[in-house]
């Protein structure tokens, strides 16, 4: 038995199809600036309001991968939680996220392969109930048993 699993981690043995988890976060100017620093993506559509006004977005937007990172947070912190390893993620960006938007990131279990400890999940992010991102993640879930 693994006695050191973090509290809140859901092991493969306890995951069921249909399980969902979510988080909400207000995306701030500071978040966008820090993401630009860490990622080295300084595209002015994210950082320069006067530049961004002349784009199709008519104003600054958050990095798409910042939004996608919120899905990663749900997976890594809640479902399955600590010890989870990402195997793959598809993403489709549907609408921009702007500074000040409250993003709801959600994951829902759609398939489980117990023999491989793989969990497939629908992933999505919403702003004001409208989808801004959708995709699918496949992860390796933690287990109470050693292989």
d(CA 93, CA 51): 21
Domain assignment present for residue 108? The answer is: yes
At 145 the pLDDT is: 81
- Measured from the Cβ of residue 29, the count of other Cβ atoms closer than 10 Å reads 12
Domain assignment present for residue 80? The answer is: yes
Domain assignment present for residue 146? The answer is: no
Query: What is the per-residue pLDDT across 86-117, written as a single tens digit (0 to 9) for each?
Result: 999 999 999 999 999 999 999 999 999 999 99
Closest by Cα among 124, 126, 147 to 135: 124
**What is the rounded (10 degree) CA torsion for 60, 61, 62, 65?**
-140
Q: What's the distance, Cα to Cα, between the start and end of the chain in Å?
A: 11
Query: What is the per-residue pLDDT across 113-131, written as a single tens digit (0 to 9) for each?
Result: 999 999 999 999 999 999 9
Domain holding 111, by residue range, is 12-140
Domain assignment present for residue 4? The answer is: no
pTM for the model stands at 0.92
Average pLDDT over residues 20-44: 98
| CATH number of the domain bearing residue 34 | 3.10.129.10
Contact indicator for 108, 18 with CB cutoff of 8 Å: yes
State how many domains the chain has: 1
Domain assignment present for residue 54? The answer is: yes
The tokens 């279990």 sit on which residue? Answer: 109
Kindly report the length of the chain.
147
Domain assignment present for residue 147? The answer is: no
Is the pLDDT at 146 greater than 90? The verdict is: no
């Amino acid at each position: 038995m693994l006695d050191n699993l973090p509290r809140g981690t859901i092991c493969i043995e306890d995951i069921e199809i249909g399980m969902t988890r979510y988080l909400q976060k207000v995306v701030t100017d500071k978040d966008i600036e820090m993401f630009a620093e860490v990622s080295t993506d300084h595209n002015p559509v994210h950082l320069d309001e006067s530049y961004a006004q002349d784009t199709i977005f008519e104003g600054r937007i958050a990095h798409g991968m910042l939004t996608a990172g919120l899905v990663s947070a749900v997976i890594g912190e809640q479902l399955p939680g600590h010890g989870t390893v990402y195997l793959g993620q598809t993403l489709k960006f549907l609408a921009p996220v702007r500074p000040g938007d409250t993003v709801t990131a959600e994951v829902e279990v759609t398939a489980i392969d117990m023999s491989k400890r793989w969990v497939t999940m629908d992933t999505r992010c919403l702003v004001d109930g409208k989808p801004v991102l959708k995709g699918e993640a496949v992860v390796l879930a933690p287990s109470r048993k050693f292989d």
